[in-house]
């Protein structure tokens, strides 16, 4: 339940989580995944999937969306897929080094993407992903086994 507690704490902005770098990183990652579009690049979940596909890690990322077992990813693979700029941005938001961010993201991303795609689909609603839906998915665990 550590990931769930961290995500809920980051979303709720609880006092206990305020200075927790991992919770701050989760919050930044949620922001990245729920963002639609971006400066010259696709944002949101689609952008993340494109980045992983471009790095030859598309099957790994797809496992997080599908209804089966989530495949693990290494910190080096996270760095390879996200690139230095995006990793630096997330690390800065959490107040940690890019190396630490890659390590935490290798633990966080599979579960986070899994929770953002409760029905095993990467498609977002016309208005994009909403945090209310994310919270419902986290609390309800409505993803098919």
Q: Which of 25-34, 60-69, 72-81, 121-130 has the highest mean pLDDT?
A: 72-81
The rounded distance, in Å, linking the Cα atoms of 142 and 145 is: 9
**Cβ neighbour number for residue 145 with a 10 Å cutoff:** 5
Beta strands in 12-87 (DSSP E): none
The rounded distance, in Å, linking the Cα atoms of 24 and 30 is: 10
For the chain, the maximum distance between any two Cα atoms, rounded to a whole number of angstroms, is 39
Give how far the C-alpha of residue 19 lies from the chain's centroid of Cα atoms, to the nearest Å: 19
Q: How much is the pLDDT for 36?
A: 55
Q: How much is the pLDDT for 33?
A: 81
pLDDT in tens, 4-13: 455 555 445 4
Residue of 70 and 17 predicted with greater confidence: 70
Domain ranges for the chain? 2-135
Question: Per-residue pLDDT averaged across 105-111, rounded?
Answer: 92
Class of 2-135 in CATH: mainly alpha
pLDDT in tens, 41-96: 457 888 888 999 999 999 999 999 878 899 999 999 999 999 989 999 999 999 99
Q: Is residue 16 scored above 90 in pLDDT?
A: no
Q: Is residue 98 scored above 90 in pLDDT?
A: yes
pLDDT band at 18 (very low <50, low <70, confident <90, very high): low
Q: What are phi and psi of 109, to 5 degrees?
A: -55, -45
């Amino acid at each position: 339940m550590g990931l769930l507690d961290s995500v809920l704490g980051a979303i709720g902005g609880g006092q206990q989580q305020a200075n927790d770098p991992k919770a701050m990183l989760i919050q930044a990652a949620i922001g990245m995944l729920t963002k639609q579009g971006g400066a010259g690049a696709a944002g949101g979940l689609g952008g993340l999937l494109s980045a992983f596909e471009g790095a030859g890690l598309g099957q790994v990322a797809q496992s997080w969306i599908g209804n089966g077992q989530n495949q693990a990813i290494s910190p080096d693979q996270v760095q390879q897929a996200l690139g230095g700029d995006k990793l630096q941005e997330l690390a800065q938001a959490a107040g940690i080094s890019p190396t630490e961010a890659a390590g935490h993201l290798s633990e966080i991303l599979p579960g986070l993407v899994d929770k953002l795609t409760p029905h095993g689909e990467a498609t977002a609603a016309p208005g994009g992903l909403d945090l209310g839906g994310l919270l419902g998915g986290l609390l309800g665990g409505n993803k098919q086994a």
